[in-house]
Chain A
Amino acid sequence: MFNSVRSRLIIVALVVVTAVWQLYSHKTRTGEWLKLGLDLQGGMHLVLEVDDPDGTMTAEARSDMIDRVDRIIRTRIDEFGVEEPLIQKVGGERLIVELAGIDDEDQAKGIVQRNAFLEFKLVLPTIDFEQALSRIDRAVVTSLGVDSIRALGRDVAGQEGDDLTDLLFGTDPAAATDSMTAVSDSAAAAAAAAADSAEAEANALRPFSSLLAFGDIEGAFLVAAEDRPIAEMFLAMPEVERAFPRDQIVLWGADLVSQAARNYYRLYVLEEDSFLTGEELEDATAGRDPQFNQSQVQFQLSRAGGRQFARFSGAHVGDFLAIVLDNEVMSAPVIRDRIGARGQIDMGQGTPLEEARDLALVLRAGALPARINIVEERTVGPSLGQDSIDQGSLAGLVGIVLVVFIMILYYRVAGLIAVGALAVYVTLVLGGLAGMNATLTVPGIAGLILSIGMAVDANVLIFERIREELAKGRVTRSAVDDGFEHALSAIVDANITTLITALILFQFGTGPVRGFAVTLSIGIVASFFSALFVTRSFFLAYLSGRKASDPISI
């Protein structure tokens, strides 16, 4: 049946109709002919990874963790209301989140990224921590060196320290100064003096503790707002962390506190282990406290969580309880009585209600089971995306016109046939992309260019072969048949090797390389069909009204 011209043309028509149908149903399903990648239409692309700084998690655990992250982020985004988000696990331990055409990127990122890790921790009296301060100062000095501390403007020696330092180290700096004076008095020990005084000077430095002041509540220091970055830098140093009292950590408060016309952040001293986490949270709603003009999130714990909470609060009446969200102390109310299953998070004065809504949303959807890192982030503004599409389409159109022009100029009627076959090819590729729900990206367009090149090449191979056969003096009909037959092996081998490459790229590639591989694979299959079946069918139709020996236009 393949040899009858009519049945061949019917098959071609059926294939084209199927491709167009795929495109059309994609359009009715999603409102777009093709799904465009973020590089073409604008949007946000995030790659997330489970934070595992010590490398202690097994690959399996990470994979399991990312599955849970996947589910939670999906829920969050659904509630947030993004159309057709793409959330995809890659390589076992990464998650790609693509949000197309979003208005507020920061808000969207907040929803995805926020750990929403809610913890309840006991606030500890600062006394233990104060005793560790000199160790911490020394750790800062030894790991940074005196010079860089001086460069930071933190070369504060004991005697210049504020009240807190005086209180804690009242005798210490004096001793240091004394020894320095004593050594410099002795002219005989001048050489040793230099080294000694440098060491003494280093010991007298209070880079960290001089940043602290006593707070308004027991269990928290105050750090001037402008000093916070330096304090954070010190606290991030592993040596400093080792100098901490056992089982204690410090966390920043979320709000600014004003005192004597200066702004401060609280630095809370907390028990390292939290006695309850947001896993026990059942519901969260945003609300507003008109009295203090502040937004709140009210939450409800599960029954088990409620019992645990009640037991703990009962045992710690009079202590402070820190409500910690993503390593920031949201509030630290004093425990007046046993607390049941309900509680609230205060968002601070003047916070808009939306922030409370976002927080309630992420709390409801659940906390991420672990901290996640954004290892890759790309946003393309909608205007840039539109520019790429406009310029790309114009260039593509001109390119197609050039191909059509060259083919018809060079091969006349046969060229026209090739152009017809290429039109079928383009329809097939677009239909194939729509049918597979593939996303068209810039590298994907590269794959298309290569496969169009190969489709043109296949036609050129066939026509050159036919010309050769005609030049040998063959009769038209058999020259055409032989031309197709002889060109076949080259077309098959070239297409299969390229397909092999495309499949390997799909296997190894991520993101953009995969996009290239997908369009290239679809393109090769389509070009194969178009060159060998469609071109031949059109050729047979062209020959059908003629005698076997009539000349053809090629």
Chain B
Amino acid sequence: MRLFQDASYAFIQQRKRAYVISAIVLLVGIGAMAYNVATLGSWANYGVDFLGGSLVQVRFDGEMTAGELRDALGGAQSPPITRFGGEGAAEFVIRAPLDEDASITEVADGVEATLRANLPGRNFEVVRTELVGAKVGGELQQKALMAVLFSFLLTLAYLAVRFELRFGLAAVIATAHDILITLGFLALFRVEIALPTVAAILTILGYSLNDTIVVFDRIRENMNAKGARKTDPVALVNQSINETLPRTVLTSGTTLAVLVALLVLGGAVIRDFTLVLILGILIGTYSSIFVASPALIEIQKRWGIGGVSEKKPRPEPATV
């Protein structure tokens, strides 16, 4: 079976259209972030892991509605409640902000005591509690940001050595594009940012980079081939994208198939996580074709860094 063999789509020629699409998506995301800053006070719906606070997950025997639980927890004064798992699951996540100097254990015990008092005769089990101090959350945020920035820098350096500087720049632009769009999506749908979400974003970073490098590797190879000097860079890049298209489609398809299986069967614990990953794979595939490669061309056109003209020796592949 073969897909997209000998494809010759005019990807790069369509790049202006892709810029518009990317710009719109990015603007929507940034708009959502700005809106969140105005209404929520922060660009996204940070969870307990980042803000600090408490989370108590309770599972009831038998039926339980969110309204009933809210009434039991004090009606209008009730802390936010979300249903965990699908409709009808009698499992809820209750979260409350943590006062600066409140004892960290009191909150969970308080919730449990209130429920026992206000719902006599109901059997429930506290299946998970999380309490994070605000300081820890803040540090986590800072470290995650540092990690992403450093990995950008080192990736840039590595690609500058193995390829050329502009390849590194283009790869970083594409990866930043992907992360920004993902964050915009998180802001738009107010997906709660928890630790697994960070892992998902990092996975997207890795995947997007992998995709981009595969395309770049082909561009590098075609650039070093005989007669490449005379080829129009746009045509050369376009040809490279088309040559790697079967691989791009198959790899993305396989990964997506696994992720859809995780989404459908994996349960509530990893659902948000899987959704973010699926989105990221789609964006990563799109960006390796429509962002990374055009970026490469634009960089060369504007600044002429590392032109195609010099003939560089192809890096010696290690023998295994």
Check B273 against A446 for contact (C-beta < 8 Å): yes
* Stretch from A125-133, A201-209, A266-274, A511-519 contacting the other chain: A511-519
Specify which of A395, A409, A456, A502 lies most central, judged by the most chain B CB atoms within 10 Å of its CB. Answer: A395
Q: Which chain B residues border A520 with CB–CB below 8 Å?
A: 206
Main secondary structure of the interface of B (DSSP, over half): helix
Check A47 against B136 for contact (C-beta < 8 Å): yes
Interface of B toward A, CB cutoff 8 Å: 1-2, 5, 57, 59, 101, 104-105, 125-133, 135-136, 140, 143-144, 146-147, 150-151, 154-155, 158-159, 162-163, 195-196, 198-200, 202-203, 205-207, 209-210, 213-214, 217-218, 220-221, 243-244, 246-247, 250-251, 253-255, 257-259, 261-262, 264-267, 269-270, 273, 277, 315, 317-318, 320
Check A406 against B254 for contact (C-beta < 8 Å): yes
| Complex Cα spacing A400 to B151, Å | 30
Q: A375 within 8 Å of B by Cβ? A: yes
Check B217 against A489 for contact (C-beta < 8 Å): yes
Residue of B nearest to A394 (CB): B265
Q: Which chain A residues border B205 with CB–CB below 8 Å?
A: 501
Check B129 against A377 for contact (C-beta < 8 Å): yes
Main secondary structure of the interface of A (DSSP, over half): helix
Q: A231 within 8 Å of B by Cβ? A: no
Q: Which chain A residues border B136 with CB–CB below 8 Å?
A: 47, 375-376
Check A403 against B257 for contact (C-beta < 8 Å): yes
Q: Which chain B residues border A447 with CB–CB below 8 Å?
A: 199, 203
Q: A86 within 8 Å of B by Cβ? A: no
Q: Which chain B residues border A399 with CB–CB below 8 Å?
A: 257-259, 261-262
Partner of A456, one of B147, B199, B255: B255
Specify which of A383, A460, A502, A507 lies most central, judged by the most chain B CB atoms within 10 Å of its CB. Answer: A460
Check B202 against A403 for contact (C-beta < 8 Å): no
Q: A508 within 8 Å of B by Cβ? A: yes
Check A505 against B258 for contact (C-beta < 8 Å): no
Q: Which chain B residues border A186 with CB–CB below 8 Å?
A: none
| Complex Cα spacing A368 to B74, Å | 39
Q: Which chain B residues border A409 with CB–CB below 8 Å?
A: 1
| Complex Cα spacing A502 to B130, Å | 27
**Interface bits A482-497 vs B (CB < 8 Å: 1, else 0):** 0001101110111011
Check B209 against A508 for contact (C-beta < 8 Å): no
Closest-CB distance, B140 to chain A (whole angstroms): 7
Q: Which chain A residues border B154 with CB–CB below 8 Å?
A: 500-501, 504
The 5 closest A-B pairs by CB, nearest first: A391-B267, A490-B217, A375-B133, A399-B258, A443-B199
Q: What would 16 A/B residue contacts be, using CB atoms closer than 8 Å?
A: A379-B128, A379-B129, A383-B127, A392-B267, A392-B270, A395-B261, A395-B264, A395-B267, A403-B257, A406-B257, A446-B273, A464-B246, A467-B2, A489-B317, A494-B210, A501-B209
Residue of A nearest to B247 (CB): A464
Check A504 against B147 for contact (C-beta < 8 Å): yes
Residue of A nearest to B269 (CB): A388
Given contacts A381-B127, A453-B255, whether A494 and B209 have CB atoms under 8 Å apart is yes
Q: A536 within 8 Å of B by Cβ? A: yes
Q: A360 within 8 Å of B by Cβ? A: no
Residue of B nearest to A501 (CB): B151
Check A377 against B266 for contact (C-beta < 8 Å): no
Closest-CB distance, A5 to chain B (whole angstroms): 14
| Complex Cα spacing A402 to B144, Å | 33
Specify which of A398, A403, A497, A509 lies most central, judged by the most chain B CB atoms within 10 Å of its CB. Answer: A497
Partner of B195, one of A381, A398, A443: A443
Closest-CB distance, B111 to chain A (whole angstroms): 13
| Complex Cα spacing A410 to B280, Å | 25
Residue of B nearest to A456 (CB): B254
Q: A339 within 8 Å of B by Cβ? A: no
Closest-CB distance, A46 to chain B (whole angstroms): 10
Check B207 against A460 for contact (C-beta < 8 Å): no
Q: Which chain B residues border A388 with CB–CB below 8 Å?
A: 267, 269-270
Partner of B213, one of A394, A486, A497: A497
Q: Which chain B residues border A403 with CB–CB below 8 Å?
A: 254, 257-258
